[in-house]
Amino acid sequence: MDGTLKTVRLRAAVPVLPLVAFILVTFIAPLATMLVRSVYDPLVAGAMPETLFLLSEWDGKSIPREAVFEAAVRELLGARQARNLGRVVTRINRVQPGMRSVIMKSVRKLRRISGSDSWRDTLIDMDPAWGKAQTWQAIRRTGERFTMRHYLHALDLDRGPGGGIVRQKPERRIYMPLLGRTLAVSLSITALCLLLGYPVAYLIAHAPHRWTNLLLLLVLVPFWTSLLVRTTSWIVLLQTRGVINDALVALGLIAEENRIAMIYNMTGTVVAMTHVLLPFMVLPLYSVMRTIPPLYMNAAATLGASFPRAFWRVYWPQTQPGVFAGSLLVFILAIGYYITPELVGGRSGQLISNMIAYHMQQSLNWGLAAALSGILLLCVFVIYLIYDRVVGIERMKLG
Amino acid sequence: MNPNGNAHVEFEGVNKSYDGQTDVVRNLNLRVQKGEFLTLLGPSGSGKTTCLMMLAGFEMPTTGTIRIDGRSVHNLPPHKRGMGMVFQNYALFPHMSVGGNLSFPLEVRGLNPEQRRERIRKALEMVRLDGLQERRPAELSGGQQQRVAIARALVFEPSLVLMDEPLGALDRRLREELQYEIRRIQRSLKVTIVYVTHDQQEAMVMSDRVAVFQQGRIEQVASPEAIYEEPERRFVARFIGENNLLPGKVTAVEGDLCQVEIEGAIVKAFRVAPCRPGDMVTLAIRPERVCVAPDPQVYSNELEAKIEDLVFLGDHLRLRMNVHGRSDFIVKIPNIVGHGAVLEGDRVRIGWTPTDCRALEPIGEMGVTL
Read off the pLDDT of residues A114-167 as tens digits, 9 standing for 90 and up. 888 889 999 998 999 999 988 998 899 888 889 888 999 899 988 777 678 888
Residue A7 lies in a domain: no
The arithmetic mean of pLDDT across residues B92-103, rounded, is 95
Output the pLDDT for position B370: 31
Those residues of chain B whose CB sits closer than 8 Å to some CB in chain A are 56-58, 77-85, 87, 89, 91, 93-95, 104-105, 108-109, 152-153, 156, 162
Output the pLDDT for position A2: 62
- This model of the complex carries an ipTM of 0.82
Do A299 and A375 share a domain, yes or no? yes
Dist CA B183 CA B165 (whole Å): 15
Q: Which of A174, B132, B266, A304 is nearest to A313 (CA)?
A: A304
Which CATH number characterizes residue A365's domain?
1.10.3720.10
Return the biggest CA–CA distance within chain B.
76
Last residue of one domain, picked from the residues B208, B234, B260: B234
Inter-chain contact A313–B104, Cβ cutoff 8 Å?
Answer: yes
Output the pLDDT for position B338: 61
The arithmetic mean of pLDDT across residues B267-272, rounded, is 87
Q: Is the pLDDT of residue A378 over 90?
A: yes
Instruction: Indicate the number of domains in chain B.
Output: 2
Q: Which residue among B84, B93, B94 places its CB closest to the CB of A302?
A: B84
Last residue of one domain, picked from the residues B203, B234, B265: B234
Do A141 and A182 share a domain, yes or no? no
Residue B310 lies in a domain: yes
Inter-chain contact A304–B108, Cβ cutoff 8 Å?
Answer: yes
Q: Which of B18, B58, B93 to mutate to test the interface with A (most CBs of A within 10 A)?
A: B93
Inter-chain contact A300–B104, Cβ cutoff 8 Å?
Answer: yes
Instruction: Indicate the number of domains in chain A.
Output: 2
Output the pLDDT for position A382: 92
Residue B265 lies in a domain: yes
Residue A156 lies in a domain: no
Which CATH number characterizes residue B276's domain?
2.40.50.100
Output the pLDDT for position B262: 83
Contact A303, A191 (CB under 8 A): no
In single-letter form, the type of residue at position B103 comes to S
More confident residue, A181 or B341: A181
Inter-chain contact B85–A313, Cβ cutoff 8 Å?
Answer: no
A68-112 residue pLDDT tens: 999 999 999 999 999 999 999 999 998 888 999 999 999 999 888
The arithmetic mean of pLDDT across residues A183-195, rounded, is 96
Do B101 and B169 share a domain, yes or no? yes
Q: Which residue of B has its CA nearest to A297?
A: B91
Output the pLDDT for position B185: 93
More confident residue, B155 or B351: B155
**Alpha-carbon B345 to chain mean position:** 37
What domain range is B286 assigned to?
Answer: 242-360
The arithmetic mean of pLDDT across residues A175-199, rounded, is 95
Output the pLDDT for position A397: 64
**Position B337 confidence tier, pLDDT thresholds 50, 70, 90:** low
What domain range is A133 assigned to?
Answer: 43-145
Do B153 and B274 share a domain, yes or no? no
Output the pLDDT for position A282: 94
Do A263 and A321 share a domain, yes or no? yes
A247-to-A251, A255, B219 alpha-carbon distances in Å: 6, 11, 66
Residue B78 per-residue DSSP state = G
Q: Is the pLDDT of residue B272 over 90?
A: no
**Position A197 confidence tier, pLDDT thresholds 50, 70, 90:** very high
A236-to-A240, A255, A263, B145 alpha-carbon distances in Å: 9, 20, 10, 58
Which CATH number characterizes residue B139's domain?
3.40.50.300
Rounded to 5 degrees, φ, ψ at A376 are -60, -45
Of chain A, the percentage scoring pLDDT greater than 90 comes to: 50
Inter-chain contact A317–B109, Cβ cutoff 8 Å?
Answer: no
Residue A11 lies in a domain: no
Output the pLDDT for position B327: 83
Residue A37 lies in a domain: no
Q: Which residue among A295, A306, A307 places its CB closest to the CB of B91?
A: A295
**Position B366 confidence tier, pLDDT thresholds 50, 70, 90:** very low
Gyration radius from chain A CA atoms: 30
Of chain B, the percentage scoring pLDDT greater than 90 comes to: 56
Residue B325 per-residue DSSP state = T
